[in-house]
Amino acid sequence: MINWHQITDPTIYEQDRFNEIRNLEGPRSLPYLDTKGIPSIGIGFNLRTMNVRNAVFEAMGIDTSLLTDPNAIAAEQGYISQLETALNQRYSSNSALRSALNPIMAQRATDPVLASYPYISSRTTFTMTDPEIETAFNDIIPDYERLMPGCRGFPSLMNGLRWSL
C-alpha cells in the first residue's frame, strides 16, 4: 500500500528529494562510465550534457566567473576546453577516463597564472565532495522538474502541495 505524506515546507521537500535520489544512485566522487559508456560523476551526472557539466564544473570551482584577472580567465577557459574535449572522448574503463581528466586538473593546479587561487591550486584531481554533489544537484534538478509536469511533488495534480511516498 502506498502512503502519501504532505510536505508543506519546501526545504524539507528539497532535502528529501536529494536524499532519495542520492540513496537510489549512490554518490560517486570519482568520474566513471555509466552503463552506456557516458562519463558521469556524483549521482548520475551526465558530463556530456552541457547544463549538467556546467553545474558540476561550477560546484567544483571550475568556473571563469570566479576570476577577475584576464590572464587567469583565459587560462581557466583553456582548462575548461580541455576537460570538455576529454569528456567527449570514448573510454574503455573508469581508469582510462580518470587518466584523461586528472592530468588536466594537475596542470591547472600548478599553473602559475592560477597559483593565487587556493581553490584551484588545491584541486589536483577531478573529484567531487558530497557538498559539491548536492550543490550541483540543486542547480540541475529545476531543469528536469520543468520537463515533467507534476514532477515537483505532483503540484499540478494536488494544488501546489508537495507530496512524498
What residues contact residue 132 under an 8 Å CB cut-off, 6+ apart? 42, 59, 60
Model confidence over 45-55: pLDDT tens digits?
999 999 999 99
Q: How far is CA 24 from the centre of its chain?
A: 16
* pLDDT-wise least confident of 22-26, 63-67, 86-90, 106-110: 22-26
**Distance separating alpha carbons of residues 103 and 126, to the nearest angstrom:** 9
The angle, 0 to 180 degrees and rounded to 10, between the axes of the packed helices 130-147 and 10-25 is: 110
* pLDDT-wise least confident of 28-32, 49-53, 156-160: 156-160
Model confidence over 53-87: pLDDT tens digits?
999 999 999 999 999 999 999 999 999 999 999 99
List phi, psi (to 5°) of 117. -110, 100
> Cα separations (Å) of 9 from 13, 144, 161?
6, 20, 9
> Cα separations (Å) of 99 from 64, 105, 142?
24, 11, 32
Helical segments of the chain, H only: 10-25, 50-59, 70-87, 94-110, 118-121, 130-147
pLDDT given at position 108: 98
Q: How far is CA 90 from the centre of its chain?
A: 20
The angle, 0 to 180 degrees and rounded to 10, between the axes of the packed helices 70-87 and 94-110 is: 170
- For residue 165, is pLDDT > 70? no
Domain ranges of the chain: 5-164
At 160, is the secondary structure helix, strand, or coil? coil
At 4, is the secondary structure helix, strand, or coil? coil
